[in-house]
Structure 1
């Protein structure tokens, strides 16, 4: 009986410690030319396990090695995940990203707490004039992964200058266990200095801990990580500041997420 209670408490504590994680998971990241991949997209408690909600694909952008926009095939959104196929017709590195911009608002109406999320353009019409205790936050997020067909290229590693973005120093499809990789984060086009970065290996559902790897950017926005083992990894960084472009917004939350595959030596 004591063992059952202890395991229940441990499971509850583990669940409470895990925040929902948004991710894109390609079926492969390094392929020979002219191949197909499937990409799953979800938000979950356990990394790369479909158990919460799907990532919507309306803001999906796939950038081909020549800079053009590649169109995914067979997009589908179900109860717990979205998925799509991608034909890698060009040689080089593809950047697959879901980028969102919008606002989150909370307010009280007739004594009840209300919440709203959407585009900034719809904010004024969404909140009643009689609402009180209105709090508005701007949100910018980027969720991405990289896939290479043939030899890796770097032409897709361009920043938009808005929100948090990553420019790999070590190619994201050239990662191996036991080796160190270096990346650079930018915030609104400038190096994001002194920023905490969290890296979590997949398979967290079958571990007692998240096994997080912590890093921090230097004054150039660079950080490094030594990969302890092969597998899929989830990388995340987040900034909260007052640099909002939305009227009446009190602050801004911008985040960056990437899924990276580390191969065995």
Structure 2
């Protein structure tokens, strides 16, 4: 028991030391009520939040202005019963086609800073609207692209792969193992790409939900290989949050600050349900 307590204290200390890179950064997530379903049709609910701990709605609701649900045949499914609360947002999806659906909340555009008559200015929005939003006479204009993607997947009946076609924008996940066919104790492999190019030697953070009910944060970090692939063996069943980020000039964690001139950046979050 003494050794156990000592080990637990060491883990807690390590988690505290790592806090500036992970625990203190607000984490963005979408959480499906289920990802593996059967029958002719089914409903699932999606929660979304921005929080200190994954899947714990304690900070802010996620805006779903850019959410897109892609059906197995490539068509778009409209979210239903959309609601935004204080700490989380939610909507439902009616699955009527057999196969795998992608639920994504993605945004991309430009961040721009400038100086006008000695006063700094800042704007963020679609790249096509940048020129119209930088005032005439502005100096020290600096612009940089951003792309952020948060997604999860659900399968009705047999899994399909149609929804995994890359868009070429920002960071995306290309499954080697199907994301709705992941099981505790078994290895699963995925590839990360950015602008359709493999993300080699990139850190990926993986955290299991349910931290409110245990002392161990149950978080791990893996690295991609030369092809942008990484493999993880799920220690237990549950919902898992997977995150990576890229920033020109060096890596940046989820929740990176906005101080200073803009720098090209991209972030990616996926949520998988690992079954027993």
Common fold by TM > 0.5: yes
Return the alpha-carbon distance in structure 2 between the equivalents of residues 148 and 181 of structure 1: 17
Return the alpha-carbon distance in structure 2 between the equivalents of residues 56 and 64 of structure 1: 21
For residues 38-81 of structure 1, give each alpha carbon's deviation from its aligned partner in whole angstroms, at most 9, with x where no partner exists: 11111111211212222222211111111111122112222222
What are the within-5 Å matches in structure 2 for residues 109-124 of structure 1?
115-124=122-131
The DSSP-based 3-state class of the residue aligned with 2:162 is coil
In structure 2, which of residues 239, 249, 267 is the aligned counterpart of residue 255 of structure 1?
267
The DSSP-based 3-state class of the residue aligned with 2:163 is coil
For residues 195-222 of structure 1, give each alpha carbon's deviation from its aligned partner in whole angstroms, at most 9, with x where no partner exists: 1111111123445554321111111111
TM-score by length of 2: 0.80
1:22 aligns with 2:32: no
Return the alpha-carbon distance in structure 2 between the equivalents of residues 80 and 92 of structure 1: 32
1:82 aligns with 2:89: yes
After superposition, the Cα gap between the structure-2 partners of 1:210 and 1:118, relative to the gap in structure 1 and judged at 3 Å, is farther
Aligned-pair CA distance for 1:120 = 2.6
Return the alpha-carbon distance in structure 1 between the equivalents of residues 34 and 47 of structure 2: 11
Conserved 8 A contact 1:47-1:205: no
Which 5+ residue runs of structure 1 have no aligned equivalent? 1-9, 243-248
After superposition, the Cα gap between the structure-2 partners of 1:50 and 1:133, relative to the gap in structure 1 and judged at 3 Å, is farther
The equivalent of 2:235 in structure 1 is 228
For residues 83-120 of structure 1, give each alpha carbon's deviation from its aligned partner in whole angstroms, at most 9, with x where no partner exists: 11111101111111111002234456677665433223
Return the alpha-carbon distance in structure 2 between the equivalents of residues 206 and 26 of structure 1: 20
The equivalent of 1:169 in structure 2 is 176
Return the alpha-carbon distance in structure 1 between the equivalents of residues 82 and 233 of structure 2: 35
The equivalent of 2:258 in structure 1 is none
After superposition, the Cα gap between the structure-2 partners of 1:238 and 1:71, relative to the gap in structure 1 and judged at 3 Å, is same
After superposition, the Cα gap between the structure-2 partners of 1:108 and 1:209, relative to the gap in structure 1 and judged at 3 Å, is farther
Return the alpha-carbon distance in structure 1 between the equivalents of residues 113 and 214 of structure 2: 36
After superposition, the Cα gap between the structure-2 partners of 1:140 and 1:74, relative to the gap in structure 1 and judged at 3 Å, is same
Return the alpha-carbon distance in structure 2 between the equivalents of residues 145 and 15 of structure 1: 26
In structure 2, which of residues 185, 210, 213 is the aligned counterpart of residue 203 of structure 1?
210
After superposition, the Cα gap between the structure-2 partners of 1:12 and 1:194, relative to the gap in structure 1 and judged at 3 Å, is closer
How many residue pairs get aligned? The number is: 249
The equivalent of 2:163 in structure 1 is 156
Return the alpha-carbon distance in structure 2 between the equivalents of residues 208 and 163 of structure 1: 35
After superposition, the Cα gap between the structure-2 partners of 1:129 and 1:53, relative to the gap in structure 1 and judged at 3 Å, is farther
The equivalent of 1:245 in structure 2 is none
Aligned-pair CA distance for 1:241 = 2.5
Moved more, 147-156 or 15-24: 15-24
TM-score by length of 1: 0.83
The equivalent of 2:63 in structure 1 is 56
